[in-house]
Amino acid sequence: GAVVSQHPSWVICKSGTSVKIECRSLDFQATTMFWYRQFPKQSLMLMATSNEGSKATYEQGVEKDKFLINHASLTLSTLTVTSAHPEDSSFYICSAREGLAETYEQYFGPGTRLTVT
């Protein structure tokens, strides 16, 4: 099956600093990538959708200036959490989709655990 990787798998940063998380599709080209956030014992919450070469579309309530998303190539998307605060500590998961037809599935990365101290 299709493989999606994330880097780093975990990161600890100090409050006020920025952190970048990478999401790569390893064996397919992803026309669309998605970013999710998951708090402990909760479900995944979609943050944004990004198409290669276009600006990301953010879900309601997600601050676009705080969560910067770049999808510069068909295999790489990055999420930068700017001026991180302890409440941004969460499990961040990306997914990638190969095509636009409804039959294409989303394949998820293993997640990145962010802890802001």
Partner 1 sequence: DAKTTQPNSMESNEEEPVHLPCNHSTISGTDYIHWYRQLPSQGPEYVIHGLTSNVNNRMASLAIAEDRKSSTLILHRATLRDAAVYYCILSGSGTYKYIFGTGTRLKVLA
Residue 54's alpha-carbon distances to 57, 63, 76, 92, in angstroms, are 9, 18, 13, 21
Which string of x and - marks every residue 23-62 that binds partner 1 (by CB under 8 A)? ---------x-x-x------xxxx--x-------------
Size of the site for partner 1 (CB under 8 A): 26
Which single residue is written with the structure tokens 């309530």? 61
The secondary element (H helix, E strand) that includes residue 4 is strand 4-7
State the nearest-atom distance from the C-beta of 110 to partner 1, in Å: 5
| Most distant CA atoms of the chain, gap in Å | 42
| Contact set with partner 1 (CB under 8 A) | 1, 4, 6, 32, 34, 36, 43-46, 49, 91, 93, 95, 97, 100, 102-103, 105-111, 113
